[in-house]
Structure 1
Amino acid sequence: MKALGILGTSSGAGKSWVTAAFCAWLHREGVRVAPFKAQNMSNNAWAMPDGTEMARAQAVQAEACGLAADIAMNPILLKPTGPMGSQLVLNGRAITHQAGKDYYREFDRLWGVVRDVLESWRDRCDVLVMEGAGSPVELNLMERDLVNLRPVRHLDGKWILVGDIDRGGIYAQLAGTWALLPEADRARSLGAIVNRFRGDIGLFPNPQDWLAPHAPGFDVLGTLPFRPDLQPEEEDGLREEDADRGSGDMVAWIRWPHAANLTDCQPWWDDRGVRTVWTKDPALIARAKVVVVPGSKNTIADVRWLHETGLADAIRGAAARGALVIGVCGGYQALGETLRDPTGLAGDAGEVAGLGLLPVETEFVAEKVVAPVTATWGERTWTAYEIHMGRTTRRGGEALQRVVRDGVTVDEGCRHGRVWGTYLHGWFEAPELRQHVAAEAGFGETYAAHPQTWSERRQAIYRAMADHLVEHVNLAPVRRYLGI
């Protein structure tokens, strides 16, 4: 097995995208390839059939490899709940909430977990594409870094560095990273990729000539133009260009502080005649035909924030004027009457009044629900999933839908007039469902849902990502190393 590390000059440089593109390209080349990220920090998670969870980014990369998601692709997941702590998910199971200082005290144990998982891949694939996190040369963290250089060293692999030209300072990013790398790690380099170039690429000729005097021996493999149509998932959060997309009738997504699983919005982006906006602005909420309260990694804190900012009144006002208000997961909990978490199992502790728009109550308990479910709308059937610690009891209204969970058909969610709540992430993936939402909300005749499900569209995106990589990056050094 060969190991190929995809490292970055910083967080958000595009490592997840480049890793997925390499996975798609190698899969197309007939290589047995799999993705890996030792430790991911993200509230965008994927539910597995056995009740475990992993970062959605690695599940997407697995799709690009033609594989089912596997916990061994992401043994450590940190889900931030606030500025001082995260939920630790180890080998797919939520273990505890802890502060950063406590996490680093467990470095030896955690590296042991990562090392064992790395060893398990040796006879399972030909190439393991390993995504890094942040920068590999955070000098104060390098000795405790188990996600960047250490896995590459352990498997005697090579690495590629991704820099983000859209941030500016691309030569400082590349040369600075190279200068801070230990000599032994420089010897593992296959080169660098300049990512997210916008505009006329002819205005950025010969980057190697400019870099060479400042980073001798470090090659630029190519420059990737940014393609907004080739973005299968976002891992770290919402890009600014995605905060307001499309034109037409508005779907307003509440941009609260601990929003999770932001990809629930993504299926709307290829529809015609709709504008999706992530907002904290009551004026936009007042104009929206649909208001969505999304998932949260700290629902009680976010509900308190809604009350403090006045957005709770804005959402209630939208419901009063007849807008369709939909809560997803934490948003479903928030639309209810009461939320209770006495010991802070899911974030902030305490009891808080919800928005009172749905006749439901939520109690947070230690056992986490992590489950794929089969959803149906009309003649369309697709896979969605639940990830939550709250248990919600419906006191009135009616079930929103029937779903199949663990082979049993059950009621799910709550509908009370024009206010709906569901625990299902991936709920908007079905075009028939979005078309129904649009009809209920009174969208104009220009609206049309893209006919494919979002999972079907991702397959076409992976193929195009591989084409984009081949067109713009010199892959000869990678081929030589991998022997393909």
Structure 2
Amino acid sequence: MTKSLMIQGTMSNAGKSLLVAGLCRIFVQDGYRVAPFKSQNMALNSFITADGYEMGRAQVVQAEAAKKAPDIRMNPILLKPTSDKGSQVIVNGSPIGNMAAAEYFKYKQQLIPGIMEAYESLSRENDIIVIEGAGSPAEINLKQADIVNMGMAQMVKAPVLIAGDIDRGGVFASLFGTVMLLDESERKYVKGTIINKFRGDPEILRPGLDMLEELIHIPVIGVVPYLSVDIDDEDSLTERFKNRQSPGLIDIAVIRLPRISNFTDFNSLEHIECASVRYAASVGELGSPDLIIIPGSKNTIADLKWMRENGMESSILKHAAQNKPVIGICGGYQMLCDTISDPYGVEQGGEIRGMGLLKAKTVFEHQKTRSRVTGTFADVKGIFKGLTGKTFQGYEIHMGQTCLTEGAGGRGGKSGEPHIIPYLSRLVETDGVMKPDGMYGGNVYGTYVHGIFDSEDVLFEIADALMREKGLKYVKNKTFNLNEYKERQYDLLADALRQALDMKYIYRIIEEGI
């Protein structure tokens, strides 16, 4: 019979996702078939599975740690915030519409049968399911209809470990308060607590740990150090956004949009030696980088207006006018166009002028494009001409379609010759259909493909091109392999958790159940 273990936290960003990933890797190393599960995830970082469904990236990371292919059953509900009060609701990998928070709160109970179907299906194929909660189980205004914290634990009879983030301070109060706000029927599911992100000597904490155990009558099963493993972050609380490092020899600036999505697209750029990858939310932070990247957005029009109002757009236009490179990914690609139209009110309705750096127009549609793709760069010009012919893999998640602006000249030659549309690449989707993607003009490039930088050939060509602009030569690290690097990070995470947690106790509570 399949066993389960649930990791909850005292707050968002307490480290639940990383703990689940590490435990998945430990259980796999110990010979078990294991899968992660999160009934409801709220995040703007998402992924397209091999069969074309959308799920949260946190569960993708956990699946990789478990040595499993990402599967929509691991995350049956994904909420992608479109504003402060509403989200796009994605059920079993497909969007069912946008809902205000109050509307979704009333609706979500209807999703329980689907949640249980996904969980039970995974259970039939695995020995252990490691479940992740969301936020805090002690949100007393939300407990009544909970489907992701104690409500989920009760549905599947899962023992619970609650993690607290000591790096933020107040960890004893937050753990004590969380447990005390649970009902007695809920409290019996909590079998241990974890102090997470500790810097220093754990023995210093011993008096506090003993007092906490006396107060709540639940054991502290480990003190996990602040880990430096390089594993994709779950959401916009990432530490990467707080990085204030000085610009490197290659200075790459990613615009930190208010509704930035899939920022994990740029993690691989950090593997370029001598490069810095910074996230800039203001003109002052932007500075004068070698490359500007405009990322994806869950509300392209609102984020374009934000850039227009705070002067960021003007800085990007000045950067491009100096013939310095700009790359737009997904929503960032749409912003580079002449116009963005929203005839069906997908975001805000109406039409807005784009940045005009690509002679193209984007029209939002009802249907979301969701597909895995492989691609080959076309006859690319400009600073990144060396990308021509290189291949990559990735995925598309977008509501709009982009095409050349009517009357735009393209890359035509003599009068009477057909114009050549400056497509960036050609893609082959999961179903074998081939289509063009992206455009370029001068040193401005746009694409809908997430994960395009994860190809080592692409990564190193970009580095080489930026170094050539400085009159320098980029020396590639020939021993570097991105997949091997990621595997080492999961193993390092598992090693650290084995040392920090009482794994004998964890195996015991998994076996005993509730």
Cα distance in structure 2, aligned partners of 1:4 and 1:41: 21
1:342-421 alignment, distance < 5 Å: 342-345=343-346, 347-376=347-376, 381-395=391-405, 396=410, 398-405=422-429, 406-421=431-446
**CA shift at 1:383, angstroms?**
2.5
In the alignment, is the contact (CA less than 8 A) between 1:340 and 1:352 conserved in 2?
A: yes
Cα distance in structure 2, aligned partners of 1:355 and 1:432: 30
1:129-278 alignment, distance < 5 Å: 129-201=130-202, 203-205=204-206, 207-215=208-216, 217-228=217-228, 230-244=229-243, 245=245, 247-278=248-279
Cα distance in structure 1, aligned partners of 2:276 and 2:41: 31
In the alignment, is the contact (CA less than 8 A) between 1:273 and 1:447 conserved in 2?
A: no
**CA shift at 1:126, angstroms?**
1.1
Query: How many residues are aligned here?
Result: 481
Tell me, yes or no, if structure 1 residue 336 matches structure 2 residue 346.
Answer: no
* Matching residue's letter, 2:235: D
In the alignment, is the contact (CA less than 8 A) between 2:390 and 2:457 conserved in 1?
A: yes
**CA shift at 1:283, angstroms?**
4.1
* Matching residue's letter, 2:368: K
Task: Tell me what 2:499 maps to.
Answer: 471
**CA shift at 1:274, angstroms?**
0.8
Task: Tell me what 1:459 maps to.
Answer: 487
Alpha-carbon distance change, 390 to 456 in structure 1, aligned in 2, over 3 angstroms: farther
**CA shift at 1:90, angstroms?**
0.6
Task: Tell me what 1:112 maps to.
Answer: 113
Task: Tell me what 1:61 maps to.
Answer: 62
* Matching residue's letter, 1:430: S
Task: Tell me what 1:427 maps to.
Answer: 452
Cα distance in structure 2, aligned partners of 1:90 and 1:250: 39
Q: Give CA deviations for 1:183-237 in whole Å, capped at 9, x if unaligned.
A: 233222231111111245454345421312322x211111111122x13111121
Task: Tell me what 1:76 maps to.
Answer: 77
Alpha-carbon distance change, 461 to 446 in structure 1, aligned in 2, over 3 angstroms: farther
In the alignment, is the contact (CA less than 8 A) between 1:430 and 1:453 conserved in 2?
A: no
In the alignment, is the contact (CA less than 8 A) between 1:17 and 1:231 conserved in 2?
A: no
Alpha-carbon distance change, 125 to 368 in structure 1, aligned in 2, over 3 angstroms: same
In the alignment, is the contact (CA less than 8 A) between 2:464 and 2:474 conserved in 1?
A: no
* Matching residue's letter, 1:389: M
**CA shift at 1:438, angstroms?**
2.5
Cα distance in structure 1, aligned partners of 2:181 and 2:375: 50
* Matching residue's letter, 1:231: D
**CA shift at 1:287, angstroms?**
1.1
**CA shift at 1:281, angstroms?**
2.9
Alpha-carbon distance change, 423 to 211 in structure 1, aligned in 2, over 3 angstroms: same
Cα distance in structure 1, aligned partners of 2:94 and 2:154: 27
TM-score (norm 1): 0.94
Alpha-carbon distance change, 369 to 261 in structure 1, aligned in 2, over 3 angstroms: same
Q: Give CA deviations for 1:342-388 in whole Å, capped at 9, x if unaligned.
A: 2321x222211110001111000011111111135678654211100
Cα distance in structure 2, aligned partners of 1:159 and 1:274: 42
TM-score (norm 2): 0.89
* Matching residue's letter, 1:402: R
Cα distance in structure 2, aligned partners of 1:41 and 1:292: 25
Structure 1: unaligned runs, 5 residues or longer: none
Cα distance in structure 1, aligned partners of 2:255 and 2:200: 32
Tell me, yes or no, if structure 1 residue 49 matches structure 2 residue 50.
Answer: yes
1:82 counterpart SS class? coil
In the alignment, is the contact (CA less than 8 A) between 1:41 and 1:79 conserved in 2?
A: yes
**CA shift at 1:84, angstroms?**
1.6
Cα distance in structure 2, aligned partners of 1:13 and 1:435: 35
1:213 counterpart SS class? helix
In the alignment, is the contact (CA less than 8 A) between 1:429 and 1:455 conserved in 2?
A: no
Alpha-carbon distance change, 288 to 109 in structure 1, aligned in 2, over 3 angstroms: same
Q: Give CA deviations for 1:21-77 in whole Å, capped at 9, x if unaligned.
A: 111111111111101000000110011233210111111111111111111111110
Cα distance in structure 1, aligned partners of 2:285 and 2:139: 40
Cα distance in structure 2, aligned partners of 1:227 and 1:447: 31
Alpha-carbon distance change, 380 to 338 in structure 1, aligned in 2, over 3 angstroms: closer
**CA shift at 1:110, angstroms?**
1.6
Q: Give CA deviations for 1:387-434 in whole Å, capped at 9, x if unaligned.
A: 001100034351112332232443221111100001111111123212
Cα distance in structure 2, aligned partners of 1:348 and 1:444: 46
* Matching residue's letter, 1:365: E
Cα distance in structure 2, aligned partners of 1:362 and 1:449: 37
* Matching residue's letter, 1:278: Y
Alpha-carbon distance change, 448 to 214 in structure 1, aligned in 2, over 3 angstroms: farther
Cα distance in structure 2, aligned partners of 1:449 and 1:58: 32
In the alignment, is the contact (CA less than 8 A) between 2:6 and 2:159 conserved in 1?
A: yes
Cα distance in structure 1, aligned partners of 2:482 and 2:398: 22
* Matching residue's letter, 1:28: Q
Q: Which structure's CA Rg is the greater one? A: 2
1:384 counterpart SS class? strand
**CA shift at 1:7, angstroms?**
0.4
Of 453, 465, 469, 1:440 maps to 465
In the alignment, is the contact (CA less than 8 A) between 1:270 and 1:450 conserved in 2?
A: no
In the alignment, is the contact (CA less than 8 A) between 2:344 and 2:366 conserved in 1?
A: no
1:60 counterpart SS class? helix
Alpha-carbon distance change, 13 to 433 in structure 1, aligned in 2, over 3 angstroms: same
In the alignment, is the contact (CA less than 8 A) between 2:369 and 2:399 conserved in 1?
A: yes
**CA shift at 1:104, angstroms?**
1.1
Cα distance in structure 1, aligned partners of 2:237 and 2:440: 29
Task: Tell me what 2:383 maps to.
Answer: none
Q: Which moved more, 1:352-361 or 1:276-285?
A: 276-285
In the alignment, is the contact (CA less than 8 A) between 2:199 and 2:225 conserved in 1?
A: yes
* Matching residue's letter, 1:438: A
